[in-house]
Amino acid sequence: MSDNQNLLARKSAATPRGVGVMAPFFVARASNAELWDVEGRRFIDFAGGIAVLNTGHCHPKVCAAVRAQLDAFTHSCYQVVPYESYIALAERLNALTPGSHAKKTAFFSTGAEAVENAVKIARAATGRSAVIAFSGGFHGRTMMGMALTGKVAPYKTGFGPFPAEVYHAPFPNALHGVGVEPALKALHELFKADVDPQRVAAIIVEPVQGEGGFYVAPPEFMRALRGLCDEHGIVLIADEIQTGFARTGRWFAMDHYDVLPDLMTLAKSLAGGYPLSAVTGRAELMDAPNPGGLGGTYAGNPLAIAAAHAVLDVIAEEGLNARANALGERLKARLHELETTIPQMADIRGPGAMVAVEFIDPASGRPDADFAKAVQARALARGLILLSCGTYGNVLRFLFPLTIGDETFAEGLAILESALRG
């Protein structure tokens, strides 16, 4: 069996440095919220494959569903020979997503692909070209995804020029001095100075920013966006790729708001680790592209579709929305106990189990990325996998499986506390 050092050397020789890798070890097997490396060391997973594993590693029901599909067929290309499971999953998402209006769903392979297609749908439906996104937002690594993403390093550096007709506005962020009113004022100024609202096809927004730092869109901001879109005939796209499927304590983050999006992009935990994404939205918008305008060779792969059906079953049967709220409250309570003795802890936030802690240098008042990196490194050395995020890299986010056992969760919190203390 290969050891980690040998594999690291092979990785450096065979794969490009542009594919950044956090852990200096290689996974051999995993179960629920735990994984083991090739040398047999155990780790508690508070990263969840970047929000992909809300139902945990190798959930038995998900694995069983994929095995059953594997014995039937693995690929026909839905656009060539379709299959019922695709239709059935579309029906389930049409019913689960917010709003009682008529909806339709198309499946793709990745979150970035879902974003690209949501933009295509909005442009086809409106006959317009411009798209507005927000600072700190993350929408993928494709050319349009990068154009929409509101963070330069590492996502955009060296890759331009990007598609035209993409504009950015500030996202409300009280901790960093951007209130709702200034954010909305900037949008209105954008309409005055840079783009006629009658040329805007869509506004895309994460209800809770993911890579940007787990900042939550205030309800009044979301209402104002809905109002602007209604006033100017703009499509409102909610990017729920990281927030969806019980992470925020509800099926979707938009369930926390009293307004509805026109389109939603979904991926990550939709299929429990299998590559699947979706765009779900108002039926009349979804029908705007001509036949052949949407799709992809692997879009809606039958193995991933089978996994997604099982994921939806597990979330409902195991009460993972309630579980997310309970775990999130335990985590936030533990963090609040620590903030009086760890002065770098400036903010603890997030709905359900989409929780983050942000670090600020108490002396300078500036974002403290070094402290975040140090905590992450100490935790990893002690057997806990954490992810950082934020425009300044000074935020730790928590994306443990919602199926994590109580004892494993308590063990992870103990490691986290020791890493925070030094």
Claim to verify: residue 74 and residue 112 sit in the same structural domain: yes
Pick the closest to residue 237 from 98, 107, 122, 110 (CA basis). 122
**Confidence bin at 404 (pLDDT 50/70/90):** very high
Claim to verify: residue 333 and residue 304 sit in the same structural domain: no
**Confidence bin at 32 (pLDDT 50/70/90):** very high
The model's pLDDT over 112-158, given as tens digits with 9 standing for 90+, comes to: 999 999 999 999 999 999 999 999 999 999 999 999 999 998 999 99
> At which of 297, 317, 337 does a domain end?
317
Dihedral of CA atoms 8, 9, 10, 11 in degrees, nearest 10, equals: 50
The answer to whether residue 410 is domain-embedded is yes
Q: Is the pLDDT of residue 1 over 70?
A: no
Dihedral sign, CA of 287, 291, 297, 300?
positive
CATH code of the domain containing 348: 3.90.1150.10
Claim to verify: residue 33 and residue 111 sit in the same structural domain: no
Contact in structure between 274 and 307 (CB atoms under 8 Å): yes
Helix axes 180-193, 219-232, angle to 10 degrees: 20
The model's pLDDT over 254-300, given as tens digits with 9 standing for 90+, comes to: 999 999 999 999 999 999 999 999 999 999 999 999 999 999 999 99
Cα 327 to Cα 305: distance, rounded to the nearest angstrom: 28
The model's pLDDT over 339-377, given as tens digits with 9 standing for 90+, comes to: 999 999 999 999 999 999 999 999 999 999 999 999 999
* DSSP secondary structure code for residue 295 in this structure: -
The model's pLDDT over 166-202, given as tens digits with 9 standing for 90+, comes to: 999 999 999 999 999 999 999 999 999 999 999 999 9
Claim to verify: residue 259 and residue 381 sit in the same structural domain: no
> At which of 269, 298, 317 does a domain end?
317
Contact in structure between 171 and 150 (CB atoms under 8 Å): yes
Query: Mean per-residue pLDDT for 64-92?
Result: 98
pTM summary value: 0.97
* pLDDT, the chain, mean: 97
> At which of 273, 297, 317 does a domain end?
317
Q: What is the pLDDT of residue 373?
A: 98
The answer to whether residue 55 is domain-embedded is no
Domain span including residue 253: 62-317
Claim to verify: residue 215 and residue 289 sit in the same structural domain: yes
**Confidence bin at 395 (pLDDT 50/70/90):** very high
Cα 266 to Cα 355: distance, rounded to the nearest angstrom: 20
Claim to verify: residue 160 and residue 194 sit in the same structural domain: yes
| Per-residue CA distances from 331 to 32, 129, 326, 357, 414 (Å) | 18, 43, 9, 10, 11
The answer to whether residue 56 is domain-embedded is no
Claim to verify: residue 279 and residue 305 sit in the same structural domain: yes
CATH code of the domain containing 291: 3.40.640.10
Cβ neighbours of residue 124 under 8 Å, at least 6 residues apart?
288, 289, 290, 293
The answer to whether residue 290 is domain-embedded is yes
The model's pLDDT over 197-242, given as tens digits with 9 standing for 90+, comes to: 999 999 999 999 999 999 999 999 999 999 999 999 999 999 999 9
Claim to verify: residue 211 and residue 69 sit in the same structural domain: yes
Q: Which residues are catalytic?
A: 138, 239, 268
Q: Report cis status (omega within 30 of 0) of the bond before 154.
A: yes
Q: What is the pLDDT of residue 153?
A: 86
Instruction: Tally the domains of the chain.
Output: 2
**Confidence bin at 70 (pLDDT 50/70/90):** very high
Q: What is the pLDDT of residue 18?
A: 94
Contact in structure between 235 and 202 (CB atoms under 8 Å): yes
The answer to whether residue 57 is domain-embedded is no
Bigger pLDDT: 237 vs 422 = 237
Strand partners, 37: 27
Q: Is the pLDDT of residue 2 over 90?
A: no
Claim to verify: residue 180 and residue 278 sit in the same structural domain: yes
Residue 381: alpha-carbon gap to chain centroid: 26
Claim to verify: residue 147 and residue 33 sit in the same structural domain: no
Residue 318's Cβ-side half-sphere holds a number of Cα atoms within 13 Å equal to 22
